[in-house]
A = this chain, B = another copy of it.
Amino acid sequence: MRVAVLGCGNVGAALVGILDARSEAITTQSGARIELVGVAVGDLSKARPAGVPTRLLTTDTRSLVTDPAVDIVVELIGGLEPAGELVRTALEHGKSVVTANKALLASPDGVALRSLARDQGVDLLYEAAVAGAIPLVRALRQSLTGERIERVMGIVNGTTNYILTKMAEDGAGYDEVLADAQALGLAERDPTADVGGHDAAAKAAILAGVAFGYDVAGDDVFCEGITALGSSDAAVAARFGYVLKLLAIVERSGDDQLSVRVHPAMVPVSHPLAGVRDAFNAVFIEGEAAGELMLYGQGAGGLPTASAVTGDLIDATRNLLAGTTAPTPDRRPGRLRPLGEVRSAFTVSLEVDDSPGVLAQVAAVFGNHRISIRTMEQEETGEGAQLVFLTHQAREADMQGTLRELGGLRPVRRVGSVVRIVGEDRRA
C-alpha cells in the first residue's frame, strides 16, 4: 500500500517514526506492507528530525496527490488552503485520505469533501482531528452505530483545560496562568483560537457530523471562550460544588433539532468530566442503550496525534484491500436549535449596593422573566455586596432578558459572570 504524507511537522515526523518502528505489527494488522512513497514539504533545505528519510522529501505536492501509484494520502498541512484543494484532488483521483485537519473538516468545504469521498467510494478518515489519540471518532462511527446518542459533551481543548485547572487548583488569575501556559508551550503566542473557544467550536461541528449526521460548520456553532473568567468564578464554582470547564456540547433538543455550542460550564465535582485535569481531553457520551460513556486521553502532541493517524491508515488499508469503506454517519440535515431556545441552569454574579430592598428588586427581575432561583448567597465586600444566584433551568433568551434588565437597575453596579450549569441530570 503506497502512502504519501503531506506535511512534515511534529505530527508528520512522529508518523514517519511510528511507521518505521512498528512496521511489522502494522503490516500484520493492516494486511499489506505500508510503503511511504513521498513526504511533501514546503522547504527542502529545512532541517528534519532524524528518521525522516531525505530521499522521500519533495516540494511537488500536486504530483503526489495525482500520482496513480499512490493509494492513500495523509494530509498533515493543516489550515484551509492549500490543504483543502489537495484533499479534494486526492479524493477525485480515487485515493483514500487520512487527515488531522479540524479547521478544514469544520469549514463548509469539509461537508463537501465528506460527500465527495462518499461519492468516490473511498475513505476520508479523521480520528486525529478531534481529541488527538482518543479513539472517539471510530467509537462513534462503529461501536455506537446502533445507538441513539442523546448528547456528546467534551473537554476538547487542552490549552483552556490547563488554564482552568491551574485557576481552580492554584487560585491564580487568568492572565497569570495564560502567561505560564505560554512559557510552557501549552498556549500559542496568539491564544485566540484556544481561549476564544474557536478550536473547540470546530471540533463540536465535527462531532455533530460524526455522532448525529448533521452537517454543521464551525462558524455556525455558538461560541463563548474563557477570557472573561476570573479567579472569582473559580471560587464560586468551588463554593457550590462545581468545577469550571470549557465544554463543547452537542445534544438533541426536541423535534429533530440539534444544539451545538461551546461555553464555560459549571460541572458538578462528582461528574466524570470534572476530574479531567491539565491539558487532557475527554468526551462524555450519553446513549439511550449504552448509558454513560467517557473517553479520556491526550488531545494534542505529535506522538498522540500520529498514533491516531496510524490507526486510520491501517483502517484505510484494510478497507482498500476489502474493497469497502469505513461506515459514514447516516446524514440527517436537520435544523440547529437557536441558542435562545436552549434551557440551562445558571450561576449569576452581581455587584450591588449594600442597602435594604436591593435583593427584593433583583429577585423581582428574575421572577418577571420566569426564572426560578435555587440558591442565593450574599457577601459584603466593604464597598457594596456581591450576590451569587444559582437558578433552576431556564430558557437562554429569558436569562438574556433578565441580564439586560438587571444591567439597567440602579443599585446593580455590575453584572458579573454568568455561567451555565451542565451535567446535573445524570441518570446513574
Contacts and interface: CB of A to CB of B under 8 A. Distances in A.
Interface of A: 14, 18, 22, 25-26, 28-30, 127, 133-135, 138-139, 142-148, 270, 272, 275-278, 280, 282, 287-298, 301, 303-304, 306-308, 310-311, 313-315, 318-319, 321-324, 327, 330, 428
CB-CB nearest 10 A-B residue pairs = A135-B143, A146-B310, A322-B324, A133-B290, A289-B307, A29-B145, A294-B296, A293-B297, A275-B275, A290-B307
Given A143-B135, A146-B307, A296-B296, A28 B277 contact: no
A303 B318 contact: no
B327 A324 contact: no
A110 to B, nearest CB: 21
Interface centre among A14, A282, A322 (most CB of B within 10 A): A322
Contacts of A324: 318, 321-322, 324
A293 B295 contact: yes
Nearest to A19: B146
A14 B323 contact: no
A293 B293 contact: no
Contacts of A25: 145-146, 148, 330
Contacts of A276: 272
Contacts of A127: 143
Given A142-B314, A314-B145, A323-B322, A293 B291 contact: no
Interface of A is mostly: mixed
A181 to B, nearest CB: 15
Contacts of A288: 303
Contacts of A327: 29-30, 314, 318
Nearest to A302: B289
15 contacts: A25-B145, A146-B311, A146-B314, A147-B307, A280-B428, A282-B294, A291-B298, A291-B304, A292-B297, A294-B295, A294-B297, A318-B324, A321-B324, A322-B323, A322-B324
Contacts of A295: 293-296
Contacts of A298: 290-293, 428
Contact of A142 (B14, B146, B270, B311): B311
Contacts of A29: 145-146, 327, 330
A250 B223 CA distance: 42
Given A289-B306, A298-B290, A142 B138 contact: yes
